[in-house]
Structure formats: structure tokens, C-alpha cells
Amino acid sequence: MEKKMYTGTYTVVDGENEKEITFNYKKELSSIERISFVNSIAETVINGTDYYPTLEGVMFGFELVRSFTDIDTSNIVTIDEIDDFLEVNDNLIRTLFEVIDEKLIKGLMESTRKVIDHRLAIYESPLANSLDKLINTLETKLNEINVNDFMGFAKKLSDVPNELTAEKMLEAYANTDIFKKKFREVSKEDNEGK
């Protein structure tokens, strides 16, 4: 469905000369046009493994012109040509920001940022969120500890080394059913081997 077109004007200042330019624009984009808008910026800002964050604003302005107006931009190909076009037509960008719904522009900015972040693999990590929650829980629990109770517990633990000697641990293991069963199996194998 074709979007309704409106007519607007902006001023181009070239040296001492000012020129009023009339153009047509629309105030909405279809879903596919929004996708194209966002992807066009992301593909320029992230080119293969190269990332050019300084181009994000430049490309956003150019995409506003390309997507919302009937101004022919087909002969503007390079980044330098885009820069030159935007410099001469900076009032056009201001005009577009005034006539296009602020929510739509913010939505396009947010979507562009999300696509770029996704392509850079900088998105929210469930692991990072889980670790953050764990740390917050630990901090909360540690703040709830009664220092006197903790010191009493620490004192009891400090008495354990006298009770947990290597000999006592071996003796306790020797009295377990697991050890007795293993000991019988090993003894039986030794006796059969003789």
C-alpha cells in the first residue's frame, strides 16, 4: 500500500546564496521499508569484520532522506558523496526530524542500534544476568549474617583440625562398608593368585 505523500520545503545555503527547495515526503514506512532502513545502516556501519561507529549518524540521516522523501539519491554512492550531500542539505535533515513522528524516529534508532549490537555480538547475556543475580543474592545473604554467630561458628571450625588428623581419617575410612568390601575383594584376588 502506497503511503500518503506530503510536500515540504527546506533551505539550501550555498555560500551566500540561499535556495528554497520543495520536496515530497511520507510520514510512515511499511514494515519492509523499516527493515531495509535499519539493514542499510547496519551493513554500512559493519562491513565484514570492520566496524565504523562514526558512520551510524551519517547513515541514519541519509536513510531518512532515501526512505522518507522522493529526492533522488541514486547517484550518491560513496561515503564522501553522502557526507557532501548531508552537509549541503543539513536543513533537510532538520526538517525531516520535525515532520516525522518522534516515536517512529526513536524506534528506528533503537532498532538500528539493536541490529548493530546483534551483529557485533554485543547483546544481553543470560549467563551475565544469572551471575549478577547470584552476586546480589550473596551480598544480601552476607549482610544478613550475625557477626557474633559467625564468630562462634568459626571457633568451632578452628577446633576441627585436632579432630581431623590423617590417622583419624584413615581409621574412619577403614571402618566404612565400602572399604571393607573392597578389602575383601582385593584379599580374595590375592589369595586366588597364589
Residue 174's identity, in one-letter code, is A
**18-71 pLDDT, tens per residue?**
899 999 999 999 999 999 999 999 999 998 878 899 999 999 999 999 999 999
DSSP state of 2: P
Question: Which has the closest alpha carbon to 67: 110, 101, 116, 32?
Answer: 32
CA 97, 100, 101, 107 dihedral sign is: negative
* 11 close to 20: Cβ distance less than 8 angstroms: yes
- Cβ neighbours around 94 below 10 Å, total: 13
Beta bridge partners of 69: 25
Unique residue bearing C-alpha cell 527493515: 35
* 22 close to 8: Cβ distance less than 8 angstroms: yes
**Segments making up each domain of the chain, as ranges:** 5-123
Asked if the model's pLDDT at residue 73 lies above 90, the reply is: yes
C-alpha 42: how far from chain center? 14
Residues 6+ positions from 88 with CB-CB distance below 8 Å: 12, 14
Beta bridge partners of 13: 18
**126-179 pLDDT, tens per residue?**
666 677 787 888 778 777 766 666 666 666 666 666 666 667 766 776 777 776
